[in-house]
Amino acid sequence: MSKRELIDYICEINKSARPEFLANFSEEDLHNYLEHLMELNLEELAVCF
Distance CA(31)–CA(49), nearest Å, equals 28
Q: What is the pLDDT of residue 39?
A: 86
Q: What is the pLDDT of residue 48?
A: 60
Overall domain count for the chain: 1
10-37 pLDDT tens trace = 999 999 999 999 999 999 999 999 999 9
| Residue 39 lies in domain | 3-48
CA distances from 22 to 10, 13, 46 (A): 9, 13, 28
